[in-house]
Amino acid sequence: MSSYPRRRVLCAEPHEDTCRLITILLERQGHAVVSAGTIAECVRLAEAEGFDLYMVDDDYIDGTALQLCKRLREMTPATPILFFSAQAFRRDRELALEAGATAYLTKPDDLFEIVSTVNSILSGRSHNGQAPRRKPGGLD
């Protein structure tokens, strides 16, 4: 178990195996992970429950990660959003950050960066040149 405080992470990942791996990695750090496979499910959960971090994928059967990021940013402006995307071009990263993402990791290369990135964001440290949007636990 980690010295990091337990945080709630919404993993909006349409691929079950990837989400399962992310869940294992983050739960080993003591974080609670809730899964969503579609934009609609992610939005429903975000409206109903509080999360300390959203993790989003590239595309969903009902839309894109950029659409989801913009929607989440409108709903909860202070909650950090981490892209974990197969899109590795610089422009994809720029578009995600413009849409409101806090950080951007690429699949599969950055898989094991997830833990350090999540812990960095949730502890209030800067990551990927982007300052976290809020302090852990919603304390601004």
Give the pLDDT confidence score for residue 6 in this predicted structure: 75
Q: Would you say residue 132 has pLDDT above 70? A: no
Kindly state the percentage of the chain with pLDDT values over 90.
Answer: 68
* DSSP per-residue string spanning 85-111: ES--SHHHHHHHHHHT-SEEEETTTTG
d(CA 20, CA 13): 9
Give the pTM: 0.83
**Is 93 inside a domain boundary?**
yes
Closest CA to 37 of 50, 53, 18: 18
Pick from 70, 89, 91, 90: nearest CA to 81: 70
pLDDT at position 91 over 90: yes
Q: Is residue 25 part of a domain?
A: yes
* Structural domains in the chain (count): 1
Per DSSP, the residues of 74-90 read HH-TTS-EEEEES--SH
Q: Which domain holds residue 53?
A: 8-114
- 136 occurs within a structural domain: no
Domain membership of residue 132 (yes or no) is no
Per-residue confidence (pLDDT) for residue 131, from 0 to 100: 37
Among residues 9, 47, 50, which one has the least CA distance to residue 138? 50
The residue that leads in pLDDT, 47 or 124, is 47
Indicate whether 18 belongs to any domain: yes
Q: What pLDDT score does 59 carry?
A: 85
Matching residue, tokens 């806090």: 102
Q: Is residue 106 a part of any domain in this protein?
A: yes
Residue 16 sits in a domain whose CATH number is 3.40.50.2300
Residue 55 lies in a domain: yes
107 or 66: whose pLDDT is higher? 66
| Tally of CB atoms within 10 A around 5 | 12
pLDDT tens readout for residues 29-87: 999 999 999 999 999 999 999 999 999 998 899 999 999 999 999 999 999 999 999 88
| Residue 28 belongs to a domain | yes
